[in-house]
């Protein structure tokens, strides 16, 4: 099996430039996620892009927990959610309306809010940053986010086809981590030169290349240190317990009414379609001792 048949994310650094990078290639995990709902091709493409971005961002930030790229809107795209944790477990979903072309989806981003959330699970702490929609793509908007919030020049290339999703990110090394022997003033020039070299190759041509070969093709003559690849896998952490939130949202009266009609309440995970069943005893216990509501799950 060649490297690009796997689901991996790989970090690299230019030895003589104050620039670092990440390459991601998703195949099995991407296919698993897009098959979970009847997504039109344009939504699959966007979901693939969002999953790559969530993993690329997770890799650049040192944290334990879960990173989420989330959009909620009023246009044709209602919801886009891509998550990646520090072990590179990914999951994602999208909700849309009608026949949505890729251009329709891009236009939808002006009618809603795009955020990056970091959930570290420690004392329920959450970081949330709003991403302004810039240019005409998710990649450009994330680039703008890094420039505005972190003052870090960032460039992202994404490519999604029917079977795989690919992402390449270049980012200036933060000033605190720059090596003394490299002039800080060369950061912008280095980024521009390397971005120019990347842009010479079409993203469609990047997808099929093994990562090491790709980097040497894109940046000939550069000394590049390539770190060990990390595996990316689909994983949904939903449980019976985490699905209780959907019933609490429904409310006791509605839940009891539902039980009268169907004897049990079935909660389906929006991400992986796994079903959790609650009977009258479960429901009574739940409203008697309600837990802290999570939840990523809604009732169907
Ligand atoms: Zn699930």
Tell me the CA–centroid distance for residue 276 and ligand 1, in Å: 10
Residue 39, beta-bridge partner list: none
pLDDT in tens, 286-298: 888 655 554 454 4
pLDDT of residue 188: 87
Tell me the CA–centroid distance for residue 271 and ligand 1, in Å: 5
Radius of gyration in angstroms for the set of CA atoms belonging to the chain, rounded to a whole number: 21
Tell me the CA–centroid distance for residue 279 and ligand 1, in Å: 20
Percent of the chain with pLDDT over 90: 70
Tell me the CA–centroid distance for residue 61 and ligand 1, in Å: 25
Q: Which two tokens stand for residue 78?
A: 């209602």
Percent of the chain with pLDDT over 70: 90
Tell me the CA–centroid distance for residue 211 and ligand 1, in Å: 31
Domains of the chain and CATH, by start: 8-234 (3.55.30.10), 240-295 (3.90.1280.10)
Tell me the CA–centroid distance for residue 87 and ligand 1, in Å: 17
pLDDT of residue 8: 96
Tell me the CA–centroid distance for residue 272 and ligand 1, in Å: 4
Tell me the CA–centroid distance for residue 93 and ligand 1, in Å: 11
CA angle 108, 88, 117 (to 5 degrees): 45
Q: What is the DSSP letter of 211?
A: H
Q: What are phi and psi of 255, to 5 degrees?
A: -65, -45
Q: pTM of the predicted model, to two decimals? A: 0.90
pLDDT in tens, 74-133: 999 999 999 999 999 999 999 999 988 999 999 999 999 999 999 887 666 678 899 999
Determine the average pLDDT of the residues in 21-33.
Answer: 97
Tell me the CA–centroid distance for residue 273 and ligand 1, in Å: 6
With left for phi above 0 and alpha for psi between -120 and 50, is residue 123 left, alpha or beta? left
Query: How many other CB atoms are found less than 10 A from the CB of residue 233?
Result: 14
pLDDT in tens, 147-198: 998 889 999 999 999 999 999 999 999 877 766 656 555 888 999 999 999 9
Cβ within 8 Å of residue 242, ≥6 positions away = 294, 295, 296, 297
pLDDT of residue 179: 64
Tell me the CA–centroid distance for residue 74 and ligand 1, in Å: 25
Tell me the CA–centroid distance for residue 55 and ligand 1, in Å: 19
Residue 90, beta-bridge partner list: 84, 234
pLDDT of residue 182: 61
pLDDT of residue 208: 80
Tell me the CA–centroid distance for residue 177 and ligand 1, in Å: 38
Answer yes or no: is pLDDT of 230 > 50. yes
Tell me the CA–centroid distance for residue 278 and ligand 1, in Å: 16
Residue with tokens 């890799």: 59
> For residues 224 and 197, is the Cβ–Cβ distance under 8 A?
no
Answer yes or no: is pLDDT of 135 > 90. no
Query: How many other CB atoms are found less than 10 A from the CB of residue 272?
Result: 17
Model confidence at 299, pLDDT cuts 50, 70, 90, reads: very low
pLDDT of residue 1: 40
Q: Which residue would you say has higher pLDDT here, 175 or 279?
A: 279
Tell me the CA–centroid distance for residue 214 and ligand 1, in Å: 35
Least confident of 41-45, 53-57, 178-182, 246-250: 178-182
Tell me the CA–centroid distance for residue 269 and ligand 1, in Å: 5
pLDDT of residue 240: 93
């Amino acid at each position: 099996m060649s490297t690009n048949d796997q689901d991996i994310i790989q970090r690299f650094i230019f030895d003589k430039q104050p620039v670092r990078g990440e390459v991601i290639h998703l195949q099995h995990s991407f296919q698993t996620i897009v098959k979970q709902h009847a997504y039109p091709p344009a939504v699959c493409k966007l979901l693939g892009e969002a999953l790559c971005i969530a993993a690329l961002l997770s890799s650049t930030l040192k944290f334990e927990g879960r990173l989420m790229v989330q959009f909620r809107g009023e246009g044709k795209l209602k919801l886009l959610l891509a998550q990646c944790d520090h072990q590179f477990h990914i999951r994602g979903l999208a909700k849309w309306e009608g026949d949505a072309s890729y251009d329709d989806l891009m236009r939808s981003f002006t009618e809603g809010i795009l955020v990056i959330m970091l959930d570290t699970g420690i004392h329920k702490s959450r970081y949330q940053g709003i991403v302004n929609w810039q240019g005409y793509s998710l990649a450009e908007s994330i680039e703008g986010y890094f420039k505005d919030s972190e003052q870090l020049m960032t460039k992202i290339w994404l490519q999604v086809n029917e079977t795989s999703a690919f992402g390449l990110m270049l980012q200036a090394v933060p000033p605190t981590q720059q090596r003394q022997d490299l002039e800080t003033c060369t950061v912008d020039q280095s980024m521009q030169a390397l971005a120019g070299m990347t842009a010479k190759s079409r993203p469609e041509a990047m997808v099929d290349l093994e990562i090491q070969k790709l980097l040497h093709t894109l940046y000939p003559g550069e000394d590049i240190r390539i770190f060990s690849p990390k595996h990316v896998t689909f994983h949904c952490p939903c449980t019976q317990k985490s699905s209780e939130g959907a019933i609490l949202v429904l409310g006791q009266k509605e839940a009891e009414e539902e039980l009268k009609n169907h004897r049990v309440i079935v909660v389906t995970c929006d991400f992986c379609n796994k079903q959790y069943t609650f009977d009258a005893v479960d429901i009574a216990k739940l409203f008697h001792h309600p837990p802290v509501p999570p939840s990523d799950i809604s009732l169907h």
